[in-house]
Amino acid sequence: MRDLIERMEADVRVQLAPKPRRLAHSLSVADESVRLARVYGVDEDCARMAGLVHDWYKVLDGPATVALARERGIDMGVDLDLVEPLLHGILAAHDLPARYPDAPACVWQAVERHTTAHAHMSPLDMVVFVADGIEPGRKSYPALENLRAMVGSAPLDDLFWVSFTSGVQYVIATERYLYPGTIDIYNALALERANS
The angle, 0 to 180 degrees and rounded to 10, between the axes of the packed helices 2-15 and 20-40 is 150
The mean per-residue pLDDT over the stretch 91-106 comes to 98
pLDDT (mean) for 182-190: 97
- CA gap 156, 163 in Å, rounded: 10
pLDDT at 196 over 90: no
pLDDT digits (tens, 9 = 90+) for 121-172: 999 999 999 999 999 999 999 999 999 999 999 999 999 999 999 999 999 9
Q: Tens digit of pLDDT for each residue in 16-38? A: 999 999 999 999 999 999 999 99
Rg (CA), the chain: 16
d(CA 71, CA 138): 32
pLDDT of residue 107: 98
Whether this model's pTM surpasses 0.95: yes
- How confident is the model at residue 88, as a pLDDT? 98
The pLDDT score that the predictor gives to residue 46 is 98
CA–CA separation, 164 and 65 (whole Å): 23
DSSP line for 127-150: HHHHHHHH-TTSPP-HHHHHHHHH
Strand, coil or helix: what is 95? helix
pLDDT digits (tens, 9 = 90+) for 59-84: 999 999 999 999 999 999 999 999 99
Average the pLDDT over 90-99 and give the result: 98
CA 76, 103, 124, 48 torsion-angle sign: negative
Give the separation between CA 194 and CA 118, rounded to whole angstroms: 17
